[in-house]
Amino acid sequence: MRVLAIETSCDESAAAFLEVKNGKTARFAHLVATQAIHAKYGGVVPEVAAREHSSTLPLVLAGLAKEIVGKEDGVALGRAVDVVAVTQGPGLVTSLKVGLDSARSLAAAWKKEIVGVNHIEGHIAASWLPSAPLESTLKDGKGVFPALVLVVSGGHTELLLMAGFGKFKLLGATRDDAAGEAFDKAAKLMDLGYPGGPAISRLAAEGNSAAYPFPRPMMNDPHFDFSFSGLKTAVRYFLQKERDRLTDPVFRRDAAASVEQAIVDVLVAKTVRAAAATKAKTVIIAGGVAANGKLRRALAAAVADRVPKARFAEPPLAYCTDNAAMIAMAGYFSARRGRFDAWKSMEPDPAWELGRGKLKV
Ligand code: KG4
Ligand code: ZN
C-alpha cells in the first residue's frame, strides 16, 4: 500500500510518502517546512499559520513529487499513490482546513481513497516508522498491546491505554496546561523565545536540577490527570522575586534544570503507575515533548525499574515534533482496517479526542 500524507494542524507544513509491502516499509520520504514567522510573536498566530500553509504546502508537495516520481508532476505522483492520508484534527481549524482541502482535491482528482487521521494517533504511529523501536511489529503488532501511551505535545498531555490502532481509552489528561505549554511558558518568562521546550532543555543540560524545589502538582494523587498551571504560576513568582539574578548564567541554568525536572518527575511517576495498573506490555511516548532527553532517560529508567516486563518505545527524535511521516503511518493502519472517509463531506475536527469511548483490552 502506498500512502501520501499531509499534515498542517499547527505551524508545520508537511508531506510524506510511505509504501508498506508485506508488513515492511519498502519506500519512505518526508518533508517538513516549519513556519519561522511565529517566533517573533512568541507563539503561533492562527491566521498567519493558515496563510503560510496556503503558500508553503504546494511547494512541499512539489518537493515530495520530485523525490518520489523524479519530477514536480501531480499526475505522475497520483499514479504512485493508493491512499491519501490527512490530519483532520485536533489542531487549529484554519490550519487544518488548508491541508484537508488540498488532500480532498488530490483524492478526488486522482480517484483515490482518502483517510482522515487523528494528529495524536499520528504522534503515536511515529514509533512504527523506519528505524523506530516498534518497526519490526508493523506486520501484526505482536507483543505490543495493550500499550500505555504518554502523549506530551504543545496542546496535549494525556495517558491512553491502546489496544491497537483505532482502539484507545483515555485514562487521564491535563486539567489545564499541557506539558509542552509548561515548557513554553517557562521559556517565555526567561526570554528564551518560542518554541521554548528545546531552549529550556539546552539551558538545563548543565544546570543543577535540585537547585529550586518547584511544585510537582498531582504527582502522588491516585488518578491519572495532570495539572501544570500551578507550576507555571510558581515559576512566574519565583522569577519575579529573583529577577536581579536573571542575567546570571548559573542561575538561569539551575532554574531551567529545576523546571524541567519538576515536569519530568510528574510525567514519569504517573506513566509508570498507569503502566503497572494496566499491565501494559509496552510503554510508548509520543508528541513534541518526547524529544526531551531528560524525559526519555528518566522514563526508560523508571520503566526498567518499576514495570520491568514492559518494553519502552520512544520514537526517533526526527519524528517527535510535528511531521507527515507519522500521519502516513497512522493513515496506513486506518486503511489496512478499511477505515476510509468520503472526500465530499470531510470537515476539520479541531477538538477530535482519542479514547473517550469504551474499550475492552
Ligand atoms: O507535538 P508538537 O510538535 O506539536 C503539537 O502537536 O503541539 O509539540 C510541540 C511542543 C512544544 O511545546 C515544544 O516546546 C515541545 O513540544 N518540545 C519540547 C522539546 N522539543 C519540543 N519540550 C521539551 N523538550 C524538548 N526537547
Ligand atoms: Zn503534534
Residue among 153, 267, 323, 354 whose CB has most ligand 1 atoms within 8 A, to mutate? 153
The protein residue whose alpha carbon is closest to atom 13 in ligand 1 is: 197
Q: Residue 237 has what pLDDT?
A: 97
Low-confidence ranges of the chain (pLDDT < 50): none
H helical segments located in the chain = 46-69, 74-79, 93-110, 119-125, 179-189, 196-204, 229-241, 249-278, 293-306, 325-336
Distances (CA, A) of 224 to 12, 46, 161, 220: 30, 31, 12, 10
The protein residue whose alpha carbon is closest to atom 23 in ligand 1 is: 197
Cα 1 to ligand 1 centroid, rounded to whole Å: 31
Which atom of ligand 1 lies closest to the CA of 287?
1
| pLDDT tens readout for residues 297-348 | 999 999 999 999 999 999 999 999 999 999 999 999 999 999 999 999 999 9
- Asked if 57 and 315 count as a contact pair (C-beta separation under 8 A), the reply is no
Torsion sign, CA atoms 131, 180, 350, 42: negative
Cα 333 to ligand 1 centroid, rounded to whole Å: 25
Element counts in the chain: helices (H) and strands (E): 10, 10
- Asked if 72 and 102 count as a contact pair (C-beta separation under 8 A), the reply is no
- Asked if 291 and 321 count as a contact pair (C-beta separation under 8 A), the reply is yes
The protein residue whose alpha carbon is closest to atom 16 in ligand 1 is: 288
Beta bridge mates, 16: 5, 30
Cα 290 to ligand 1 centroid, rounded to whole Å: 8
Amino acid at 119: H
Ligand 1: residues with CB < 6 A are 10, 153-155, 180, 183-184, 195-198, 201, 287-289, 291-292, 321-322
- Asked if 216 and 262 count as a contact pair (C-beta separation under 8 A), the reply is yes
Q: Residue 140 has what pLDDT?
A: 92
| pLDDT tens readout for residues 208-239 | 999 999 999 999 999 999 999 999 999 999 99
Residue among 289, 317, 322 whose CB has most ligand 1 atoms within 8 A, to mutate? 289
Which atom of ligand 1 lies closest to the CA of 187?
14
The protein residue whose alpha carbon is closest to atom 3 in ligand 1 is: 321
Q: Is 70 left (phi over 0), alpha (psi -120 to 50) or beta?
A: left
Q: Residue 262 has what pLDDT?
A: 98
